[in-house]
Amino acid sequence: MSILKPLIVILGPTAAGKSELAIELAHKFNGEIISADSRQIYRGMDIGTGKYPRTESLDLKYPVSSPEAKSKTAKPLLIGGIQHYFIDIADPDQEFTLAQFKKAAIKKITDIQNRGKIPFLVGGTGLYISSVVDNLNIPKAAPSAKLREKLEKMTTSEMIANLEKLDINAYRSIDKKNRRRLIRALEVILLTGKTFSSQKKKGTPLFETLEIGIETKREELYRKIEDRIDKMVKLGLESETRNLLDKGYTKSLPSMSGIGYKQMIMYLNDEITFNEAIRLIKRDSRRYARRQMTWFRRDKNIHWIKDYEKAEKLIKNFLTKKTLLDKN
């Protein structure tokens, strides 16, 4: 039986402090970071996705710089003195599927391990994390522009009703606020003739994984979310959104329908006021954080921590135990 190599996962809801924690831990344990954030893959979408500015530190002692990319899907960024991957790898109008992420992430994780380092998979996109940790058997149905055009014309309620009829298990587990996921689920069902849920079974684990989740009281998390959004506004979320629209990236793109951009586009189109846009961004971010926690709470393998010291202890014990097992 082959010995599985270690993978450490740092997860949690938006604004919980995943990046800061992961960077400090990666310094401690000679690690590199694979981003598991489905929004930070897009170039030019920096403020609204919460990326760290390339010219600032992370309020840590480590500098930030941006070396040239070595490959399209494994572009390295030196953030906080740690190599990061899967940030700024696609334009906002490019499709980057879950299957693409899984394949590329597994390849990069293996590369990090083979170089004698510890890979940290860090983010809040549950499906990205699950695709790697659970080795999901992702449906092999190529996107159909014609079918998607038809599905796009449906209301969210209509899509939810259809999914309930066609695949009750997917209906029960899917994020019903996420039109992109609803469209993909219906697309796979209609193209393959099989249920969406049956095609996303867990496979044999590829890595020995330690999952660490950041636990934050709801009131504190909501305060962090509001503080982050206020900072985004000051940094220029409005001008960033306007610049993306000027480049031809329309509101119909999945990337542009994300929280922050969607509401700011409504403001720029004179549909709502600026203050209303900010209020909606904060409200929808809180709702998103609740959905993230609902997803993560289903995973009983996650170790929930409140501080760096507990995370460090968990990793130290995990790696020590792994080393001892490997020697026997």
Number of domains in the chain: 3
Whether 32 maps to a domain, the answer reads: yes
Whether 157 maps to a domain, the answer reads: yes
Question: Is there a single domain that holds both residue 104 and residue 18?
Answer: yes
Least reliable range by pLDDT among 18-27, 57-66, 237-246, 281-290 = 57-66
The CATH number that applies at residue 58 is: 3.40.50.300
List the 208-214 sheet strands across, edge first.
77-79, 82-85, 31-35, 118-123, 6-11, 208-214, 302-305
Question: Is there a single domain that holds both residue 163 and residue 184?
Answer: yes
Residue owning tokens 């206020």: 230
DSSP assignment of 153-195: TS-HHHHHHHHHHH-HHHHHHS-TT-HHHHHHHHHHHHHHSS-
Question: Is there a single domain that holds both residue 105 and residue 85?
Answer: yes
Question: Is there a single domain that holds both residue 112 and residue 31?
Answer: yes
Question: Is there a single domain that holds both residue 90 and residue 122?
Answer: yes
Give the pLDDT score at 223: 97
Question: Is there a single domain that holds both residue 30 and residue 77?
Answer: yes
Instruction: Tell me which residue range forms the domain holding 189.
Output: 145-198
Question: Is there a single domain that holds both residue 42 and residue 128?
Answer: yes
Question: Is there a single domain that holds both residue 283 and residue 178?
Answer: no
CA dihedral 181, 186, 192, 194 (to 10 degrees): 100
- Give pTM, 2 decimals: 0.85
Question: Is there a single domain that holds both residue 158 and residue 258?
Answer: no
Among candidate residues 32, 14, 211, 23, the one with its CA nearest the CA of residue 124: 14
Whether 112 maps to a domain, the answer reads: yes
Question: Is there a single domain that holds both residue 158 and residue 60?
Answer: no
Question: Is there a single domain that holds both residue 24 and residue 96?
Answer: yes
Question: Is there a single domain that holds both residue 153 and residue 114?
Answer: no
Tell me the pLDDT tens digit for each residue of 51-99: 865 533 344 443 333 333 334 454 568 888 899 999 999 999 998 888 8
Could you give the 3-state DSSP secondary structure of residue 107? helix
Q: Which residue has the higher pLDDT, 322 or 33?
A: 33
